[in-house]
Structure 1
Amino acid sequence: MRSSTGTPLSLRSAAEAVPATWLVLIGIISVQTGAGVAKGLFEQLPPTAVVWLRLLTSAVILVILVRPALRARTRGDWAVVIGYGTALALMNVFIYQAFARIPLGLAVTIEYLGPLMIAILGSRRRVDLLWAGLAGAGVAALGLERADLDPVGVLFAVLAAAAWAGYILLSAATGQRFSGASGLAIGSVVGVVLLGPPGIAEGGAALLDWRLALIGLAVGVLSSVVPYTLELTALRRMPPRVFGILMSLQPAAAALVGLVLLGEMLTVWQWLAVACVIAASAGSTRTSSRNDDRERKGSTETPPSEDGSPPPGPT
């Protein structure tokens, strides 16, 4: 038996028995653990091939669970969801290329500047200048670090940040046209099609190794299916402000997973950069939510989204 969003009721019921805060934290750990497992594959499979395996796995699972309706879609609907799937694919390719060159925690910290800048640039509040300055201080801390950071890896992380910003903007448009997780399911298929040629070409015969395929399956489940399910369940039970603040812990979680799974040690300056970006993201989320609440109370209109919440984190 399935829910209206296509999620099996048994899975959803199990998730609802756990406090919402823990659901978000488990989802964060799942995403970054998936990233750590993926990075461990790079010696056997190139990053693009690993991304393709991950998207293929998540696309198959999501399509089976969600069963998105494809009929009666307009050209505008397809244009939006194809753009969304393209942003999803690029975001994953760029960040995995960054993972291959720089520590996990630093790559996610730089990538997180994308959604942070979207929030700050879309605001007219002076306090956001403080958060922008704090994020800038984090970037400066990385620049002052004497340890060598691969500039190509840093560039890929910056590109991932830009792609994540585009993903967020297109998520809103996709959510208005596709119900539940239908947009994500279709977008994942778009990503699989786009990355198929380079992913298969780079992976070659290694993609036929059932052990590598099984690890790719695990990466897809850990990085996409599990966190998305948990985040959607949590968003029904907690204010978007709290969700956004908890999601700000992603860079720290990535740094810890990098340390535990991959032995990636960060310096004091690098931890300072992570802390600055986390503080800026949490502060921007908190003040933005307060301002939105005041505007909503002072308005006679009620323009909520489908569930009144921001889109989940990257998949």
Structure 2
Amino acid sequence: MLKKNTTLQSLCLLLLAMISVQSSASLAKSLFALFPVLSVSALRLFLGFSLLALFFKIWTVHVHKIRWKTIISYGAALAGMNALFYLALQRLPLGITVSFEFVGPLSVALFHAKTRFDFVWVILAIFGLVLMFPFQDLHRSLDFMGVALALGAGACWAIYILSGQKSSGISGQHTVCLGMMIGSCILMPIALATGMPNQVLSIPYLFYFLLLAILASALPFSLEMVALRHLSPLSFGTLMSLEPVLAAFSGIIFLSEHLLWTQWLALVMIMIASLGCTYTTHQAKQRIERQLQENQTS
């Protein structure tokens, strides 16, 4: 019963993290009209790190216990995922950007698939992602550079998933915090070199960046780190197929990016794939646990 509750709590935390990220994407896209994209991305990570450093008391970490190889790979993945996603978002609609980016976690899910049902759910999610593209509205041409950037963000997302499951020698919260520190150390010099306006530190823009840091970095990354500890790569990777769904709704609500009927069909297929993966993975775990119990009693 305790394990079931832990899994359910992890799923709820992951869903909350996705809602937070996709809602914040609309805020970020509105800031692109005022500030360079890399400035937005760098400040998002830096302010997120600063908030978590204070909240989780980063100075209490035992430095000798830190596995820096894991932290650096995790932080570099965060930097690439954030910067490339925002650069792609500048060129593509939110739902389309997330659909391309999803190739990363979907690849992780496919790699860890073991049963025929697992492949069915992954393939169903792929078909849903294909239907996300506006084939019936050809005048909405896709920016190929934006597609490449989104795919690059997806690759970083896959690395983020895998590195987040490795032991860092410290707590999950401190891992997120140090990872964001590494990510901001990578992005901040680039943002400063390409021209970060002083206006980012003025009111009310500083408030907007703080809100973005909370919704897009500090809150979701912390929740995902906790969820990763209790979910398999297959469950996490396929459940993240809800990201395009939430992104599409966020685009409708905040950015007036309306969907075609084929894209609504895609949303249904993606949600079915996510629910199916959750169910079959849970059933597989139960069968393994029953077999272990039978072996112990025999």
Structure 1 length as normaliser, TM-score? 0.76
Aligned pairs (5 A) from 1:69-148? 69-73=61-65, 77-141=67-131, 142=133, 144-145=135-136, 146=138, 147-148=140-141
Residues 129-180 of structure 1, C-alpha deviation per residue, up to 9 Å, x if partnerless? 222322332343227442312222222221111111110000011x452223
Report the residue type matching 2:252 in the other structure.
L
Report the residue type matching 2:254 in the other structure.
L
- Are 1:34 and 1:223, in contact at CA under 8 Å, matched by a contact in 2? yes
- Is residue 189 from structure 1 mapped to residue 181 from structure 2 by the alignment? yes
Aligned pairs (5 A) from 1:202-213? 202=194, 203-213=196-206
The CA distance in 2 between the partners of 1:214 and 1:72, in whole Å, is 36
| Structure 1 residue 88, shift from structure 2 partner | 0.9
- Are 2:176 and 2:222, in contact at CA under 8 Å, matched by a contact in 1? no
Match of 2:253 in 1: 260
- Once superposed, what is the RMSD of the aligned Cα atoms? 3.0
Q: Are residues 293 and 176 of structure 1, via their aligned partners in 2, closer, same or farther at CA, if it must alter by over 3 Å?
A: farther
Residues 228-263 of structure 1, C-alpha deviation per residue, up to 9 Å, x if partnerless? 566678899xx859x958754332221111111111
Residues 43-76 of structure 1, C-alpha deviation per residue, up to 9 Å, x if partnerless? 11122111111101110011111223142136xx
For residue 57 of structure 2, the aligned residue among 63, 67, 70 is 67
Unmatched tracts of structure 1, length 5 or more = 1-18, 301-315
Report the residue type matching 1:103 in the other structure.
P
Report the residue type matching 1:102 in the other structure.
L
- Are 1:106 and 1:270, in contact at CA under 8 Å, matched by a contact in 2? no
Q: Are residues 84 and 233 of structure 1, via their aligned partners in 2, closer, same or farther at CA, if it must alter by over 3 Å?
A: closer
Q: Are residues 73 and 176 of structure 1, via their aligned partners in 2, closer, same or farther at CA, if it must alter by over 3 Å?
A: closer
SS in structure 2 of the partner of residue 148 of structure 1: coil
| Structure 1 residue 226, shift from structure 2 partner | 3.2
Residues 203-233 of structure 1, C-alpha deviation per residue, up to 9 Å, x if partnerless? 2334343432221111001122334566678
Match of 2:296 in 1: none
| Structure 1 residue 288, shift from structure 2 partner | 2.4
Unmatched tracts of structure 2, length 5 or more = 1-8, 294-298
Residues 10-45 of structure 1, C-alpha deviation per residue, up to 9 Å, x if partnerless? xxxxxxxxx998766554332212111011000111
- Is residue 278 from structure 1 mapped to residue 244 from structure 2 by the alignment? no
SS in structure 2 of the partner of residue 252 of structure 1: helix
Deviates further, 220-229 or 249-258: 220-229
The CA distance in 1 between the partners of 2:41 and 2:270, in whole Å, is 26
Report the residue type matching 2:107 in the other structure.
M
Match of 1:216 in 2: 209
- Are 2:49 and 2:218, in contact at CA under 8 Å, matched by a contact in 1? no
SS in structure 1 of the partner of residue 197 of structure 2: helix
- Is residue 31 from structure 1 mapped to residue 21 from structure 2 by the alignment? yes
Structure 2 length as normaliser, TM-score? 0.80
Deviates further, 250-259 or 22-31: 22-31
- Are 1:105 and 1:255, in contact at CA under 8 Å, matched by a contact in 2? yes
Aligned pairs (5 A) from 1:151-162? 151-162=144-155
- Is residue 226 from structure 1 mapped to residue 219 from structure 2 by the alignment? yes
- Are 1:134 and 1:277, in contact at CA under 8 Å, matched by a contact in 2? yes
Residues 81-131 of structure 1, C-alpha deviation per residue, up to 9 Å, x if partnerless? 001100011111111112111111222233233222212221221122222
Match of 1:306 in 2: none
Q: Are residues 296 and 115 of structure 1, via their aligned partners in 2, closer, same or farther at CA, if it must alter by over 3 Å?
A: farther
Residues 171-211 of structure 1, C-alpha deviation per residue, up to 9 Å, x if partnerless? 011x4522231111100000010001112233233434343
The CA distance in 2 between the partners of 1:148 and 1:46, in whole Å, is 24
SS in structure 2 of the partner of residue 177 of structure 1: coil
Report the residue type matching 1:252 in the other structure.
V
For residue 178 of structure 1, the aligned residue among 170, 189, 192 is 170
Q: Are residues 78 and 62 of structure 1, via their aligned partners in 2, closer, same or farther at CA, if it must alter by over 3 Å?
A: same
